Structure 1
Amino acid sequence: MSNVTISPTMLRVEALRQIRNPYTLAFTIAMPVAMYLLFGATAGYGSLSAGNGNVAFYVMVSMAAYGTAVAMSSLTSLAAAEAQQGWGRQLAMTPLGSTGYAITKLITAVTFAIVALLAVFVAGWLTGAQASDGWRWLACAAIILTLGLMFGLYGLGVGLFFKSDSAAALASISMTFFAFFGNVFIPLDGLMLDIARFTPVYGFVALSRWPLTEGMLTTGQTDALWVPIVNVVVWSALFALLVAAGIRRSRSRR
């Protein structure tokens, strides 16, 4: 029996399963859109200038990045937890195989990340989010989806450490915590901003906003480009180590 890499049936089943999952809908799609509408579209200052666009665009990008990070982390953590529960071994006896299972999960996570981003971007487009050039929309979207993959590593690590379906909820909740302290939801200043620069999402969101802000912060300060880049590189490496540690821990349980 030869293994197949991708099963359309498995992709459909997995997509429908996640659509029925209240955590997936609430944290990856509904919450980012609601946060954008609250702080970007209806706050009264969305039309004010912000870098190469307006405040609504700034908030839109921030919420799209948050939704992408949550989608990647929660869905990959769920995949890792399922594998630890024996689902991966069960699928290994089917034509899909373990590789196909992993690819299916990754495609599902990326798909929901794209849906989360599109939902926020459409809400922004309909409510007055503006950038000085059209390419800035595409650049922000591309950066979000590319760098958002780093949170797939985080989700895998969480899923390998916590052998239950609660891993997905834990990943989502922890990402919300990181966002609050990472200069995503609330503009930070002073000591809190200094601390934020060391948090997991700071570099990711700063680079996602870069086509708009070019490093300019709401406090009037400007980050050099190397600051968010180093943040992303370091945290990606730490997430990779978390995955490796999770693999060792999962093997010790057997």
Structure 2
Amino acid sequence: MNTLIRLEIVRTLRNRKFMFFSLLYPAFLFVVITAGADKNTRLDGSDVTFVSYYMVGMAAFGALTAVLMGNAERIAREREKGWVRQLRLTALPGRGYVVAKIASAATVSLPSIVVVLVLGAAVKGVRLDAWQWVGIAFATWAGSLVFAALGVAIGYVATADVARPISMLFYFGLALLGGLWIPITTYPQWLQDLAGYLPGRPYVALGQSIEFGDAPHAKDVTVLVVYLLLFAGAAAWLYRKDTRRG
């Protein structure tokens, strides 16, 4: 399994187009959204600035882009090309395949997070305590594993042609309900309550809690752990099912 993990990480890093898109797309959006914004302008009723709020949001969006958009379609195409069929000839368990795919996705998500945070500090003048920078980066990266597992599951349940539109539905839906582009407080209360039990909002809330000077809420962590187990379990089951069918 360790060999497959190393192989998947190397293959991901060699995909220059995917790396370029994953690293620069969220950074570009962050710069565009905050263009012309005063770095001292604060969100209503908080000590968090407009720029720092969207810095955390776009860092999460970048990680979501890296682990979900590329992962699902790539896995679906690997199935069509016979790569997964070759893995079936080995003794690799379903959990090993899922772990390898999640690990390779996590390799890409961390740099995309760091790029946005560096832009926030160096270009936009965001000032946070050292523990907040480290905490935001780690929490955003760790939380992205949930969506890496979702990408693996989508890649196994859909064909290559269908994997991209399905991923995009999840991608934009999770981003919208997570409050990445619009502060969640502007939504109706019923929608805020619903979003709290979907993975997008708790994921974004991890970094935002640290940004506000607090620890991530236990409820958000619990929701994400449940979804991680659900998505990873579904992906492993789909791998084993596909193996038996082959």
Larger proportion of helix: 2
Q: What amino acid sits opposite 1:109 in the alignment?
A: A
Distance across 2 between alignment mates of 1:230 and 1:117: 22
**TM-score (normalised: structure 2):** 0.77
1:118 paired residue number: 114
Distance across 1 between alignment mates of 2:179 and 2:167: 19
Q: Is the Cα contact below 8 Å between 1:54 and 1:131 reproduced in 2?
A: no
2:173 to 168, 172, 177: 177
1:57 to 34, 52, 77: 52
Q: Is the Cα contact below 8 Å between 1:74 and 1:168 reproduced in 2?
A: yes
228-237 vs 197-206, which moves further: 228-237
1:219 paired residue number: none
- What SS is found at the alignment partner of 1:42? coil
2:25 paired residue number: 31
Q: 1:141 to 1:98 in 2, by over 3 A?
A: same
Q: Is the Cα contact below 8 Å between 1:203 and 1:232 reproduced in 2?
A: yes
Identity of aligned residues (%): 22
- What SS is found at the alignment partner of 1:48? coil
2:219 paired residue number: 227
Per-residue deviation at 1:203? 0.5
Q: What amino acid sits opposite 1:229 in the alignment?
A: V
Q: Is the Cα contact below 8 Å between 1:47 and 1:128 reproduced in 2?
A: no
Q: Is the Cα contact below 8 Å between 2:98 and 2:232 reproduced in 1?
A: no
Structure 2: state its 5+ residue gaps: none
**TM-score (normalised: structure 1):** 0.75
Q: Is the Cα contact below 8 Å between 2:23 and 2:115 reproduced in 1?
A: yes
Matched, 1:237 2:229: yes
Q: 1:144 to 1:9 in 2, by over 3 A?
A: closer
41-50 vs 119-128, which moves further: 41-50
Distance across 2 between alignment mates of 1:195 and 1:207: 17
Distance across 2 between alignment mates of 1:170 and 1:104: 22
- What SS is found at the alignment partner of 1:5? helix
1:44 paired residue number: 37
Matched, 1:77 2:75: no
Q: Is the Cα contact below 8 Å between 1:147 and 1:204 reproduced in 2?
A: yes
Question: Please, what is the CA RMSD of the aligned residues?
Answer: 3.5
Q: What amino acid sits opposite 1:205 in the alignment?
A: V
Q: 1:184-226 CA distances to partner (integer Å, 9 max, x unpaired)?
A: 21113333323322322110110122211256xxxxxxx9923
Distance across 1 between alignment mates of 2:23 and 2:218: 31
Q: What amino acid sits opposite 2:71 in the alignment?
A: T
1:5 to 3, 6, 10: 3
- What SS is found at the alignment partner of 1:67? helix
241-250 vs 134-143, which moves further: 241-250
Q: Is the Cα contact below 8 Å between 2:9 and 2:107 reproduced in 1?
A: no
Distance across 2 between alignment mates of 1:138 and 1:75: 26
Structure 1: state its 5+ residue gaps: 216-222
Number of equivalent positions = 238
Distance across 2 between alignment mates of 1:34 and 1:152: 22
1:151 to 136, 139, 147: 147
Aligned pairs (5 A) from 1:94-109: 105-109=101-105
Distance across 2 between alignment mates of 1:38 and 1:232: 30
Q: What amino acid sits opposite 2:223 in the alignment?
A: N
Q: 1:156-210 CA distances to partner (integer Å, 9 max, x unpaired)?
A: 1101101326525642552122111221211133333233223221101101222
Q: 1:113-161 CA distances to partner (integer Å, 9 max, x unpaired)?
A: 1221122112212222423412211110011111211111111110110
2:211 paired residue number: 212
Q: What amino acid sits opposite 2:17 in the alignment?
A: R
Q: What amino acid sits opposite 2:230 in the alignment?
A: L
